[in-house]
A and B are shown apart, each in its own frame.
Chain A
Amino acid sequence: MTATLDEKSTDSSLSGKRPGDAIFRGTTLAASLLVIVFLAGVAIFLAVKGAPALDAGPENLRDKANVFALVGALLFGTVLAAAIAMIIVAPLSIGLGLVISHYAPRRLAKPVGFLVDLLAAVPSVVFGLWGIFVLAPRMQPVHEFLVDWFGWIPLFAGPASGTARTLLTASIVLALMALPIVTAIMREVFSQTPRAHQEAALALGATRWEMIRMTVLPYGRSGMVAALLLGLGRALGETMAVAMVLSTTGVITSWNIVSSQNSNTVAAFIAQGYKEASPIRVAVLIFAGLALFALTFLVNFLGRAIATRGTVKG
């Protein structure tokens, strides 16, 4: 029905007579193409302005031999922090998604969803403040506990940091910031499970959990993976939580997440160097940003690909 009204008949036949149509169409198309220009611009300008970093000497690279060693160490910290954050986010977001989609009484589901959205509205710099002044002091005993009891795991080798401004605390703040976006996708995925599947399970005498385990979770599997990957993309690029919470001394590569010697992340490294005035050091920051851009692009690409495949399958 709409086919007769689509561009072929409406536009190509009439646009010659109606300059307004051609102009409007051209304007909107130009805006769309600007999106491509913007993205290409990001890649090009970062590459051009980051390139001088390749010639930087160790004095501008925190004593690393070359820029790849520096960025490599930072990428290690980035992935470590984001991975820990996602380990925390995964069970929480599944639980939260289920609360909103299946567990909360209908009247409560909306307010609950609103509260989660509220968590997403908190500016990152405020999360950072909270991490420093509220979370870190409360995490200090937890650090002692982890080192005392689980010190044999390399992650908790210690010695425990006295301020708890560690990668572990930063990762918890990161997790809180990634939680709303992951939860939003999870609840969307869960609520798309066909009613017939769920009612069939219930009719067979399944309890609510059995119904969820047999219908909702298998149905939403690819959606859940995509949600976690998109959350990972967010956690990789999140800056302020780590930049503010983490106390850093130089750039190191360390699995230890509870001591005062921590790996740093790319985004936090850039944010902490914002007062840098020497052109070569700024180039190093831009180069690190380019690496981060590439990494998040890859993760988001994977997430989108899985999400798309999931919808086609569903």
Chain B
Amino acid sequence: MSDHDDLSGPDLATSSSGVPVDVLDGDIVGPRPGDTGGQGRLPRMAAALIGVGAVAVAGLLWLLGLGLLPAVLLGYVAFLVAFPVWSLAVENRRKATDRLVTVLVWTAFALAMIPLGSLIWTVVRRGAPAISVGFLTDDLSGRALIEGTGGIAMALAGTVLVTVIAAIIAIPIGVLTAVWLVEYGKGSRLATVITFLVDVMTGIPSIVAGLFAFAFFQVVLGAPLPRLAVGGGVALALLMIPTVVRAVEEMLKLVPDDLREASYALGVPKWRTIVKVVLPTAVAGIVTGVTLAIARVAGETAPLLLIVGTAYTTNWNPFDGAVSTLPTFIYGSLNRTGGQYGAAWTDAVWGAALVLIVIVMALNVVARVIGSVFAPKTK
């Protein structure tokens, strides 16, 4: 590996000031008493001390009339500069660099978490007032449509309908494909091709999946503008299959060969071994993967826009007529938020967003709980 060259690279060799090597003995020794000038250590509370100082600077600037955001930014810059500079003064350049990078790395984490926190807070704050029993059980027929009163029952029903159709299509195909890849096709050329194609499928843009379903039902039904729930299910299934295959494949690979061999030794046919031994052993992981895949597609908007259309009443018929789902309802209702009843529509949009996020997060949590509680006991 070329990496080994880097290990003995110039940085370590030349920066002798950092590594206290006693030349006479050739031993590595610790910092000696009185040997300051690059050998000291920052106190343990150094980061906290400077942090308090930075907050104080930001607070002062804010009180002096600076905007909140610039004040916080300047406080952060103060921290970013002061910490390494102090380290440079007490310790040495290498340690100062190390501390600077540590601050930057944690900054990346904070930068990713601020939007997440802000997003969840916003959805809860603006969505919660809209939630009521009526909001979940009424649809938007008649006057409710014009005035934006009523609820999102039709979108809840549509989300369930379309997601269930997608699951019915994708789960058998996904699980069986994974079984073939792990149990039968291992190492064959066809398996390589299919693994590659599953990867390609993972990368299909969601909107393209929707266009495919649309074009497919244009041909099948001969209609110029097909609108049906099954179409949405097909589009979502296309996105779901690769996720399911991947998850199940990983789980099947974890099943120890000992179990299979024990079963074969008892004269059990291969297919019964797979159905009765391999799949039950991996079932917790499979359920987790499938639930995560369902959570992912339940929140999809783009693939559904063209094929399911817009509806304001509940439509349980999967083979005919437009249906509404939570994501498409949110997107489709956005342009109503400005009119006479705009406030009511804005409430409905945020309420639907809250319901959607709760459903998706709940599925995620359920998946992880299943995964950890019912983990295969194969040890």
Could you tell me which A residues sit within 8 Å of B by CB distance? 1-2, 5-7, 10-11, 14, 18, 20-21, 23-25, 27-32, 34-36, 38-39, 41-42, 45-46, 48-50, 91-96, 98-99, 103, 112, 115-119, 121-130, 132-135, 138, 141, 176, 179, 183, 197, 200-201, 204-210, 212, 214-215, 218-219, 230, 233-234, 236-240, 243-244, 267, 270-271, 274-275, 277, 279, 282, 285-286, 289, 292-293, 296-297, 299-301, 304
Asked whether B86 is an interface residue with its Cβ less than 8 Å from the other chain, the reply is no
Taking a contact as CB atoms closer than 8 A, the residue among A1, A28, A98, A179 that contacts B183 in the complex is A28
The prevalent SS among residues of B at the interface is: helix
Known: A28-B180, A39-B201, A293-B204. A115 touches B270 (CB 8 A): no
Taking a contact as CB atoms closer than 8 A, the residue among B107, B203, B301 that contacts A124 in the complex is B301
Taking a contact as CB atoms closer than 8 A, the residue among A45, A125, A292 that contacts B215 in the complex is A45
**CB-defined contacts of B202 to chain A, threshold 8 Å:** 300
* Chain A nearest CB, measured from B317 CB (Å): 21
Select the residue from A35, A99, A133, A179 with max chain B CB neighbours within 10 A. A35
* Chain B nearest CB, measured from A278 CB (Å): 9
Interface flags, B91-109, vs A, CB<8A=1, else 0:
0001101100110111111
Considering the complex, which residues of chain B in the window 211-264 have a beta carbon less than 8 Å from any beta carbon of chain A? 211-212, 214-216, 218-219, 224-225, 238, 241, 245, 257, 260-261, 264
CA distance A112 to B106 in the complex (A): 11
Tell whether, in the assembled complex, residue B331 and residue A128 are in contact, meaning their CB atoms are under 8 Å apart. yes
Select the residue from A7, A125, A127, A230 with max chain B CB neighbours within 10 A. A125
**B274 to A, closest residue via Cβ:** A24
**A208 to B, closest residue via Cβ:** B98
Q: Which 4 A-B pairs have the closest CB atoms?
A: A237-B205, A95-B108, A123-B299, A31-B176
Tell whether, in the assembled complex, residue A29 and residue B119 are in contact, meaning their CB atoms are under 8 Å apart. no
Could you jot down 27 A-B contacts, CB within 8 Å? A11-B184, A21-B269, A28-B176, A41-B212, A42-B208, A45-B215, A46-B208, A46-B215, A48-B215, A49-B214, A49-B219, A95-B108, A96-B108, A117-B364, A121-B360, A122-B299, A129-B353, A132-B334, A135-B115, A205-B19, A205-B28, A207-B94, A208-B102, A218-B2, A230-B203, A240-B301, A271-B207
**CB-defined contacts of B108 to chain A, threshold 8 Å:** 91-96, 99
**A27 to B, closest residue via Cβ:** B176
Select the residue from B206, B219, B261 with max chain A CB neighbours within 10 A. B206
Tell whether, in the assembled complex, residue B361 and residue A214 are in contact, meaning their CB atoms are under 8 Å apart. no
Known: A121-B295, A209-B98. A38 touches B196 (CB 8 A): no
**B13 to A, closest residue via Cβ:** A204
Tell whether, in the assembled complex, residue B199 and residue A2 are in contact, meaning their CB atoms are under 8 Å apart. no
**A277 to B, closest residue via Cβ:** B225
**CB-defined contacts of A1 to chain B, threshold 8 Å:** 257, 261
Tell whether, in the assembled complex, residue B107 and residue A95 are in contact, meaning their CB atoms are under 8 Å apart. yes
* Chain B nearest CB, measured from A272 CB (Å): 9
**B245 to A, closest residue via Cβ:** A35
Tell whether, in the assembled complex, residue B269 and residue A18 are in contact, meaning their CB atoms are under 8 Å apart. yes
* Chain A nearest CB, measured from B321 CB (Å): 16
Taking a contact as CB atoms closer than 8 A, the residue among A23, A25, A126, A282 that contacts B353 in the complex is A126
Tell whether, in the assembled complex, residue B2 and residue A124 are in contact, meaning their CB atoms are under 8 Å apart. no
* Chain A nearest CB, measured from B30 CB (Å): 12
**CB-defined contacts of A123 to chain B, threshold 8 Å:** 298-301, 327, 356-357, 360
Tell whether, in the assembled complex, residue A2 and residue B257 are in contact, meaning their CB atoms are under 8 Å apart. yes
Could you tell me which B residues sit within 8 Å of A by CB distance? 2-3, 6-7, 9, 11-12, 18-19, 28, 69, 94-95, 97-98, 101-102, 104-109, 111-113, 115-116, 118-119, 122-123, 126, 172-173, 176-177, 179-181, 183-186, 190, 193-194, 196-209, 211-212, 214-216, 218-219, 224-225, 238, 241, 245, 257, 260-261, 264, 269-272, 274-275, 295-296, 298-302, 305-306, 310, 327, 330-331, 334, 349-350, 353, 356-357, 360-361, 364
Taking a contact as CB atoms closer than 8 A, the residue among B109, B118, B357 that contacts A96 in the complex is B109
Known: A36-B197, A123-B360, A304-B196. A271 touches B302 (CB 8 A): yes
Tell whether, in the assembled complex, residue B105 and residue A98 are in contact, meaning their CB atoms are under 8 Å apart. yes
Known: A99-B108, A204-B7. A210 touches B94 (CB 8 A): yes
* Chain A nearest CB, measured from B199 CB (Å): 5
**CB-defined contacts of B272 to chain A, threshold 8 Å:** 20
**CB-defined contacts of A98 to chain B, threshold 8 Å:** 105
**CB-defined contacts of A14 to chain B, threshold 8 Å:** 269-270
**B117 to A, closest residue via Cβ:** A115
Tell whether, in the assembled complex, residue B271 and residue A103 are in contact, meaning their CB atoms are under 8 Å apart. no
Q: A27-B176, A123-B360, A286-B215 are in contact. List 10 more A-B contacts (CB 8 A).
A: A2-B257, A28-B177, A32-B180, A99-B108, A123-B357, A129-B349, A135-B115, A215-B3, A239-B301, A270-B306
Taking a contact as CB atoms closer than 8 A, the residue among A25, A49, A130 that contacts B118 in the complex is A130
CA distance A230 to B81 in the complex (A): 35
**B211 to A, closest residue via Cβ:** A289
**CB-defined contacts of A46 to chain B, threshold 8 Å:** 208, 211-212, 215
Known: A31-B172, A300-B199. A116 touches B112 (CB 8 A): yes
Known: A205-B12, A301-B200. A95 touches B118 (CB 8 A): no
Known: A31-B177, A35-B198, A205-B18. A118 touches B203 (CB 8 A): no
Known: A35-B173, A134-B118. A210 touches B207 (CB 8 A): no
Tell whether, in the assembled complex, residue B112 and residue A119 are in contact, meaning their CB atoms are under 8 Å apart. yes
* Chain A nearest CB, measured from B341 CB (Å): 18
Taking a contact as CB atoms closer than 8 A, the residue among A5, A10, A122, A238 that contacts B205 in the complex is A238
**CB-defined contacts of A205 to chain B, threshold 8 Å:** 12, 18-19, 28
